[in-house]
Amino acid sequence: MTAHLSNGARPGRRRISRRVLVPLTVASALVGTVALAGCGQSRDPDVYTVLNSSTDDSYHSWDAATLERCGKQLGVTIQQQSVPANQVMTKSLRMASSKSLPDIIQFDGSEMPTFAETGGLKDLRKLGVDTTDVPQGIIDYGSYKGTYYGAARTVNTLALFYNKDILDKAGLQVPTTWAEMRETAKKLTQGHQYGVALSAGGSEDGVYQFTPFMWSNGGDETALDSRNVVEALDYWKSLISDGSLSKSTINWTQADVNDQFMAGNAAMMINGPWQVETLNTKKNLHWGIAQIPVPQAGDDSVGPLGGGELTIPDIGDPVREKTSAKIVNCMTSEQEEVTYALNSWMIPANQKAAATWRQKVPSLSSLADQVAVARSRTAKAGSGWTSISLALQSAFQSALTGQSSESALKHAQSRVESGK
C-alpha cells in the first residue's frame, strides 16, 4: 500500500491491489470490544499465528523463513495466514466477531488507525516492544493518538525513476523542480513515448502518488480545497495538457506505471522500491533514481511513508500477548530487518539496520533520503484518512477529465466534512 505495500503484476511479485477502505463506523460495529471477542477461543499454547498479505510466493517464503527463525529462538511454532492485501482489514474484523483473532496482524499503515480506533489493539510499548534506534517519524507512523500500536520492519516511499539512456541521448539532466520536470517531460515526449508516467487512478495508489506533490507544495489533507492542494492537482493537469502524461493515468495503478516504464513508453516515472526487482529483470534497461522534484529549488521533497505494521490485537490473554511482543521484537531485530529489506527492496525501519542496508544497496540511497523526511498519511487524519482518500480519488477522476481542480477539490472537502 499501500500503499502501500501491495505490489505489481510482475514475475514473482505481488500486484498493487485496490484496498477496500472500511469506514470507521463499520469497523467499530463489527469489532465491538475485541478483547471480549477473543476470550472464547481455545488456543494451542505453543502455536502462534500471524495474519499478513504475503500471498506472493516470494514474500510468503521470506516471511516463513523469518517466522521459523524466530520460532526456534523463542521455543514456539509461528504460522502465517496470508490473504490478499485488500482483505486483511475485512478478515480481521470478521475474525474479531467470530472470536478467532490471530496473535499478530500486519496491517498497512493507512489501515492500522481504523482498527486501533475500535480499541482492538494493544499498546506495544507496554508489552515491551523495543523502539531503540527507530526514528521518531517511523514511531509516529505506527502510532495512533500518541499510542504505539504498529511496529514496522521496513518502510517505503516514492521516488523519481528515470531511463538513463533516454535522458543521456537527449542531453538532459534529471529534473529537481516542478518546472524542470515539466520541461524535461515535454522534451522527452515523442511518438509512443511519454515524458513521465504516474498513477492518478481512483484508488489508494493514486492518492499515495499525489501526496508528495500536495505536501511538498505546503498542502494539507485536512484542507483539500486550499490553494496549495489546488496547485498540486493543477500541476498534474498541466502534464496532461502538455501531452507529457498519458490521459490513461486515471486508470493506472503503480504496477501499470512500472509496465509503461519498462516497455519504453515513459522516460520517467513516479514509483516505489517494490518495483526494483522487476526493473532489474530487463537487463538492457538502465535506470536511475532520484528524489521527487519539488515546487521550488530548496524545498523539501516530502513523500508518503508506507509499509506494513505488526500489531498485536487484544485477545484477552496477557501471557500470549507478551509472547507475541517477543515475536515482534524478533521480526524487527536488526538482522531480520536487513534480510527482509534486501529481499523486498524496502528500507529497514531500524537506523542501524538502515545504515547496513545503504552499504549493500548504495544505488537506492535516494530512497533512504526521501524516507528521512517522509510523512505518514494518517499522522493528522488518523482513521479519518479513509474518507479523505476516497474524496481525493473522486477529485482526480473529475479534475483530470475536464473539471477545474478548484471545483473538484472543493467538492472533495465538502464530502469529507459531511462524512459522505
Answer yes or no: is pLDDT of 241 > 80: yes
Answer yes or no: is pLDDT of 24 > 80: no
In whole angstroms, what is the distance from residue 75 CA to residue 178 CA? 54
Answer yes or no: is pLDDT of 114 > 70: yes
pLDDT at site 189: 98
The answer to whether 24-156+306-376 and 159-302 have equal CATH topology is yes
Answer yes or no: is pLDDT of 214 > 70: yes
Radius of gyration of the chain (CA): 21
For range 23-51, the mean pLDDT: 63
Taking CA atoms, 121 is separated from 48, 142, 150, 309, 313, in Å, by: 17, 12, 9, 12, 4
The pLDDT tens digits of the residues spanning 41-71 come to 678 899 999 999 999 898 999 999 999 999 9
Residue among 175, 168, 205, 156 at smallest CA distance from 287:
168
Q: What is the value of pTM for the model shown?
A: 0.81
Answer yes or no: is pLDDT of 203 > 90: no
Which stretches of 125-195 are DSSP H helices?
136-141, 164-170, 178-188
Answer yes or no: is pLDDT of 12 > 50: no
In whole angstroms, what is the distance from residue 16 CA to residue 354 CA? 25
pLDDT at site 312: 98
Q: What residue ranges do the domains of the chain occupy?
A: 24-156+306-376, 159-302
Q: How many C-beta atoms surround the C-beta of residue 75 within 10 A? A: 8
The pLDDT tens digits of the residues spanning 348-367 come to 999 999 999 999 998 888 78
Q: At what angle do helices 204-216 and 227-241 cross, to 10 degrees?
A: 110
The pLDDT tens digits of the residues spanning 123-182 come to 999 999 999 999 888 999 999 999 999 999 999 999 999 999 999 999 999 999 999 999
pLDDT at site 379: 85
CATH class assigned to 24-156+306-376: alpha beta
pLDDT at site 216: 97
Instruction: For strands 287-290 and 159-163, give the pairing.
Output: antiparallel
Quote the percentage of the chain above a pLDDT of 70: 90
For range 33-45, the mean pLDDT: 59
Three-state SS letters, 341-392: HHHHCCEECCHHHHHHHHHHCHHHHHHHHHHHCCEECCCCCHHHHHHHHHHH
Residue among 408, 50, 395, 25 at smallest CA distance from 201:
395
Instruction: For strands 77-82 and 47-52, give the pairing.
Output: parallel
The pLDDT tens digits of the residues spanning 302-315 come to 999 999 999 999 99
Half-sphere exposure of 187 (CA within 13 A, CB side): 16
CB 157 within 8 A of CB 265: no
Residue among 207, 186, 194 at smallest CA distance from 250:
207
For range 263-272, the mean pLDDT: 97
Answer yes or no: is pLDDT of 40 > 70: no
Position 27 confidence tier, pLDDT thresholds 50, 70, 90:
low
Answer yes or no: is pLDDT of 251 > 90: yes
For residue 27 the three cell numbers come to 469497523
Q: At the topology level of CATH, where does 159-302 sit?
A: D-Maltodextrin-Binding Protein; domain 2 (3.40.190)
* Mean pLDDT score of the chain: 89
The pLDDT tens digits of the residues spanning 182-191 come to 999 999 999 9
Position 11 confidence tier, pLDDT thresholds 50, 70, 90:
very low
CB 155 within 8 A of CB 138: yes
Rounded to the nearest angstrom, the gap between the alpha carbon of residue 190 and the centroid of all alpha carbons in its chain is 32
The pLDDT tens digits of the residues spanning 364-401 come to 887 887 887 888 888 888 888 989 999 999 999 999 99
The segment with the largest mean pLDDT, out of 113-117, 209-213, 342-346, 370-374, is 209-213
Residue among 146, 133, 63, 144 at smallest CA distance from 348:
133
Residue among 113, 12, 3 at smallest CA distance from 61:
12
For range 104-119, the mean pLDDT: 92
- Lowest mean pLDDT: which of 17-26, 272-281, 409-418? 17-26
pLDDT at site 33: 44
For range 248-254, the mean pLDDT: 95
pLDDT at site 408: 97
pLDDT at site 383: 82
For range 238-260, the mean pLDDT: 96
- 102-123: b (≥16 Cβ within 10 Å) or e: bbbbbbbbbbbbbbbbbebbbe
pLDDT at site 411: 97
Q: Identify the residue with better confidence: 117 or 1.
A: 117
pLDDT at site 158: 95
For range 259-281, the mean pLDDT: 95
